[in-house]
Structure 1
């Protein structure tokens, strides 16, 4: 039997093979994949491959086609298949060619399987691989992205040096060939500069260093001869192409820049290329053949700018790839050419700074200016007003502007030019409608780029009728949206027969962006594009019906997500809801406006864990207050929800009133309709309320909590663990440390079995404070809690964890660091609008003890510093020296 068909990797870009165990490192594999794809490289991973092939054949074939090896290791050695002596994990490393770059990342762990430890020792000692420890998936992503970017730059520098050394001999041989060809001599242009006319850059290409390096690396590969820079209008495709053209140099004999901005007839593209190359059309042969004769033996880089309005000329480019074998084409277009041989390079917006509320010192300003979007704003604002600087006073406004404009270079340039008339604060206040702000009067800017609106309209004009209708309909969305949502709002539309095909036309035209950050294909529009779509949608005759379909879809989504917010699906469900949060808000507003209050109350209640984990409880409380203010008739269940939810959130707000009476009434209503889940949850909230009133009523608190645990209906492992932990808090407050610890241990065990990271983090907080009360070291519990809270993006949980770590550090005598950690927790509390629950301010006794000590000044100085530190700096400080405990699956010493 002959050999089977070749097993191909998912695409043909530079390939990065990722080796790791699958289940234990699933979050890390997702992070690695995202980091690799951000560099426009191809992740080669087992889960992306062809399932019909046996695993060993698959990874061996993938390794054979890969360019870089990335190994990620933690605790497990991996499965050893029958008849084999080593695991696939070790086999993959052994099979890696000696000359392939190997990047090894090892997650810190308290313990590892012996065979993995031996393998890691051999890898570290063989001297052919880089070896880097890490703690979290986010840190791994940063390391991989940085290391691969450095590797690309080093390889590109090496390849340019090699090409330069050979260029002279190759040029002499090519010249001899041309001299012997009379037709080439007749058609060739007059002797002159080896480089054609390239537009002069008037400004620096801010933040595009990686893109330039990556494109130059692609261009150095003879196999990649047609590269298309794709992106929406204003994203910076032309500026990037100009920068690449200026830096290309060897191996190209000539770089020619062809501007197609004013070309509308696809038949005029070849003549435009010929004119720039100085080739005269003799009419004796097809023009593509004449170009091949004239440029025989030459290495040409031909840049074709603004190709989107002549897409039918893409067939001519394919012909040129054959007739002019020495030419490479770099094309800028708002749409893909969709021809064979095309390599697409998606031009993304500039990287954004982190969001922040109040940058307090110059160090924070320096961190903000590291973001390319902010540097571009500053540089262009300085061009308009040389006195402008980004300062601690205006930095938050500048960050907000850049984030609101989503890093789109043209939008930032147009906005920053207004600095002569508007301060950043005044500009920020006008961002609710961005289009009037994004206008320039510069005479040397093409008419279609003098406003963002004109730039977007240019792209819309290139669409077919169905895609234009779809564009208008998508104006109903307020943020990212899924394919299911598109189906909901287009149901019954006569032009929506080929939904995927029409969406793809919008994606290809750079009016729609596609991504899958929440493990579900999502679509989005840049802010200016969405504003134009929204304005057109508002004028649509079907707008009212579509808005209701949109709102009903998101009410259904809340019901679908409710069970997924618990257990192993928790993170994916949180990310999905986060991605579509703006649409949830828009749906709630519309349902309230049309008096559908029961639907909104139901959705808010079902998404309780989402609001809680992502620290949006004050916002959710506002929704319930708006429902009460609507004055509409309420169902019994809705009345129960609207009594319970705001009362619960009030426990986190020190200036809010606690009403046990409202909660007692809510319990009665839930019991009346037989909703045992609602009854149990409200009993738990009521228990916390009795703990929080002055003076606390711990007898009633315990009675209500035990009643919640006694209910059988509507129970699940996650909430059962929460209820048990709440009872433990009451026992702790009553001085029963042993009883409390038993309940906390049970809560932690249940949470771990349920694979519920959020409930586990709460249980770890409770275990940690109980350990401190018993005089034990609680640092490992709090650090594990911090790791979980970071992975969940739970700001309030991070604050809980930092308070616990602070108290643990205080017991060691390092009061300055303890103060810094507590100050960071203070800053997070201020940001979320939530304080520690009034019945559970467990760090205060430690603060009181420190303030009464001789080292109070060091603690207070550290606390003030912590309030100003960036989140990243705080987390690095907290996790750095205790990374093993923070990264492990369960801290040693924590009950199992």
Structure 2
């Protein structure tokens, strides 16, 4: 461009943000960043935005020269090197950024970078002018850019509107907010909610609540930065963390505003005078310990009609006109489908942890080798930002695996942290202690007792454990704990469910442990869930089966804690009774192995056991893994269990033991079909005498298996049909799924593939609804045989691959299965279609469970192509 040519101007003369990146490779990222910049009312300066009467190199150099902030986006490509040039435009743009220009650099995680880009990024990493962050996808990138630009505006540009040689009048301009030294991750929804409220002229008081260390202060600063243009009278930040007397709050506000108190009038009068005509935002941080100042804050809002207050507190201020927003933990990674770097980084908790580790150890990378450990760290710490930051600070000397091993001692391991954190946040323990000092004695007592719950708990459970607290009102005290963010509440259907962060729970238990009534309170906690098991026992066998299974799944941690306490205190009778009442739940959710281990402790205790306890313990220790235990140990144990149940008059218990005895006799080295049939017929009679239709359906299925063992296919079909009818009358989804599965195999053996498919599909639907992974695997294997027998090789391979993964990921791969699909698979593998089958099986192994179920429900033969390649 010749000197006579007119200067190239950027598209907008607002504060300008130059965006450097390759174009086609990062098109989605560029669009996301452009939107983020415009949301802050800044001007994005991007190569594709300008007219093109000038050479590209002249264009981007001119644009860069006029810009205020440099944003660099880097993926895998180094970019085009123009003829006659030694470097790409991407590197040229970075080199031309003028000294002192803020530089924000974002690098896409993963992938294989071109060598010259890797070299450039190495130089950028060592450049102390540039901040350096990783991102997983355009959405996360946009969130990072918004947060970092907002922080940069607060740090560097709040005084930009005033001449350099004139001081800013803090009464008319923006009061600088504290500089945020870290980026805000995973909070876009909450930030937008706060910004929306602060942008409403009718909203005067917004309170951001949450427990200590959750990130309230950081988020409030970000939100305030985003709305600074709405408050020409300025934004004042008031840190109340060191203020313990509510009467001193006006003085703290006055000090933040620069108001001088020389005794020539009351401070309240000066404060009202200072703010009465200003459209300003007052950010009050850490209000909870001076919450009694709330009336004074409300009075100030009344006297200053253009004033808005944004407060952070562990509890609401409870004044009229208050709008509360609760801040919870960061979203956790979803590990149901295995560990993956890409999926992990999409979880804000992982993204935050990785970024903070990199601050301590710049060469840290999230890899396939360490991603599972990092995900488990984030889950163990409940996604609490402060906990994640404290843990990440140890990343300089501990690998993720080593840190994960030490999380049981995290109150010791995480005792350090950044020196510029407030003293009360150096450890999570001090944060919680500081918070609980604000509670009444009855609230503190309830908090300590609630620490006994290993997971969520209902109001009924809280009332049970809180009974007898002096001067306590459980509902009011629980409400206070919720208001104080020490307990969280969410609605599940028509029930309110409460929970505590694990770090809060640990603190509560520490308060309870040394007390003389600790054992009695733990007994009381266990009593609640023993009674819950008694309520659930028969509900698990009828029309409310799914509802109760889901409810018990929510209580899974508490159920385990109950069993562990009963065993540790040698309450063998209660432990066995508890295990027995929840038999169906343990089965459907795949916990019978745990129950077996628990009951082995009972049998091996050496203590004298009553008959019913021993019968139950023998049943669980023998019946659960009958295929792998020696006959000489298994059959006598089940026989003794049945005899002891009979002695106690427990017909259903005896019948269930006889079913397992029959299966053991069939599976022994020398199968005894006659004795097995005798045991099963006796079992059926006992269930019918007891009116136990659930057990009756199970006995009929087992008798059908004996018939198949004898190769009497039609007799087997009759038993399975009878079992299905009983299960349907009982509205027992599990019983129906089992009967349908067995019936499907009879139809396969008879060549009725269409009917077999219907049976397996219906069994699959029931198992999927119950989240019964074993049933899902069985149904997929049955449908594999149907597809193979019908000549659909690709579909058969896909279904088998999916079934294998379900078994492998749920620990079912070594269990014996009532399935005959392998003979059909072997036939394909011995044919020319083996290659097609194996390719489809590999695709099926990439299906998630829900995708595999959806695929299995499709009927046409072409749908195997829909499986991921």
* TM-score, structure 1 normalization: 0.71
Distance in 2 separating the partners of 1:675 and 1:631: 24
Residues 225-624 of structure 1 aligned to structure 2 (within 5 Å): 225-249=204-228, 251-253=230-232, 254-277=234-257, 295=275, 299-355=279-335, 359=339, 364-495=340-471, 497-517=472-492, 520-624=495-599
Distance in 1 separating the partners of 2:519 and 2:170: 67
Residues 806-844 of structure 1 show CA distances to partners (whole Å, capped at 9, x for unaligned) of 334434555455334333433333344335763613332
User: Residues 617 and 326 from structure 1, CA distance in 2 versus in 1: closer, same or farther, beyond 3 angstroms?
Assistant: same
* Contact 1:259/1:306 (8 A) holds in 2: yes
Distance in 1 separating the partners of 2:565 and 2:388: 32
User: Residues 881 and 281 from structure 1, CA distance in 2 versus in 1: closer, same or farther, beyond 3 angstroms?
Assistant: farther
Distance in 2 separating the partners of 1:282 and 1:783: 83
SS of residue matched to 2:282: strand
SS of residue matched to 2:698: helix
User: Residues 460 and 703 from structure 1, CA distance in 2 versus in 1: closer, same or farther, beyond 3 angstroms?
Assistant: same
Distance in 1 separating the partners of 2:360 and 2:759: 54
User: Residues 311 and 879 from structure 1, CA distance in 2 versus in 1: closer, same or farther, beyond 3 angstroms?
Assistant: farther
User: Residues 824 and 415 from structure 1, CA distance in 2 versus in 1: closer, same or farther, beyond 3 angstroms?
Assistant: farther
* Contact 1:518/1:572 (8 A) holds in 2: no
Residue matched to 1:664: 639
User: Residues 633 and 340 from structure 1, CA distance in 2 versus in 1: closer, same or farther, beyond 3 angstroms?
Assistant: same
Residue matched to 1:843: 821
Distance in 2 separating the partners of 1:857 and 1:840: 27
Distance in 2 separating the partners of 1:282 and 1:758: 79
Distance in 1 separating the partners of 2:676 and 2:490: 47
Residues 720-731 of structure 1 aligned to structure 2 (within 5 Å): 720-731=696-707
2:665 aligned to which of 668, 690, 699: 690
Is 1:648–2:623 an aligned residue pair? Answer: yes
Residue matched to 1:80: none
Distance in 2 separating the partners of 1:661 and 1:243: 70
Higher relative CO (CA 8 A, sep ≥ 6), structure 1 or 2? 1
SS of residue matched to 1:638: helix
1:747 aligned to which of 701, 717, 723: 723
Structure 1 residues 714-723 or 341-350, which shifts more? 714-723
2:780 aligned to which of 782, 786, 802: 802
Distance in 1 separating the partners of 2:205 and 2:859: 49
Deviation at 1:602, TM superposition (A): 1.1
* Contact 1:692/1:838 (8 A) holds in 2: no
* Contact 2:442/2:469 (8 A) holds in 1: no
User: Residues 820 and 377 from structure 1, CA distance in 2 versus in 1: closer, same or farther, beyond 3 angstroms?
Assistant: farther
Distance in 1 separating the partners of 2:655 and 2:300: 72
Residue matched to 1:821: 799
Deviation at 1:201, TM superposition (A): 2.0
Distance in 2 separating the partners of 1:217 and 1:507: 25
Residue matched to 1:715: 691
Distance in 2 separating the partners of 1:545 and 1:244: 48
Which sections of structure 1, spanning at least 5 residues, go unmatched?
Answer: 1-148, 154-188, 886-896
Deviation at 1:449, TM superposition (A): 1.1
- Higher-Rg member (1/2): 2
Structure 1 residues 622-631 or 290-299, which shifts more? 290-299
Residue matched to 1:174: none
Distance in 2 separating the partners of 1:258 and 1:696: 80
User: Residues 801 and 285 from structure 1, CA distance in 2 versus in 1: closer, same or farther, beyond 3 angstroms?
Assistant: farther
Deviation at 1:286, TM superposition (A): 8.4
Residues 741-779 of structure 1 show CA distances to partners (whole Å, capped at 9, x for unaligned) of 444344334434433332232233233333333332344
Deviation at 1:211, TM superposition (A): 1.7
Residue matched to 1:627: 602
Residue matched to 1:892: none
Deviation at 1:313, TM superposition (A): 1.4
Residues 86-119 of structure 1 show CA distances to partners (whole Å, capped at 9, x for unaligned) of xxxxxxxxxxxxxxxxxxxxxxxxxxxxxxxxxx
Structure 1 residues 328-337 or 732-741, which shifts more? 732-741
2:753 aligned to which of 759, 771, 776: 776
Residue matched to 2:767: 789
Distance in 1 separating the partners of 2:630 and 2:351: 41
Deviation at 1:615, TM superposition (A): 0.5
User: Residues 370 and 652 from structure 1, CA distance in 2 versus in 1: closer, same or farther, beyond 3 angstroms?
Assistant: farther
- Alignment RMSD, CA only? 3.4
Residues 830-860 of structure 1 show CA distances to partners (whole Å, capped at 9, x for unaligned) of 3443357636133322332232222334434
Which sections of structure 2, spanning at least 5 residues, go unmatched?
Answer: 1-138, 144-167, 864-869
* Contact 1:190/1:278 (8 A) holds in 2: no
Distance in 2 separating the partners of 1:597 and 1:319: 62
Distance in 2 separating the partners of 1:669 and 1:680: 12
Distance in 2 separating the partners of 1:275 and 1:742: 87
* TM-score, structure 2 normalization: 0.73
* Contact 2:390/2:417 (8 A) holds in 1: no
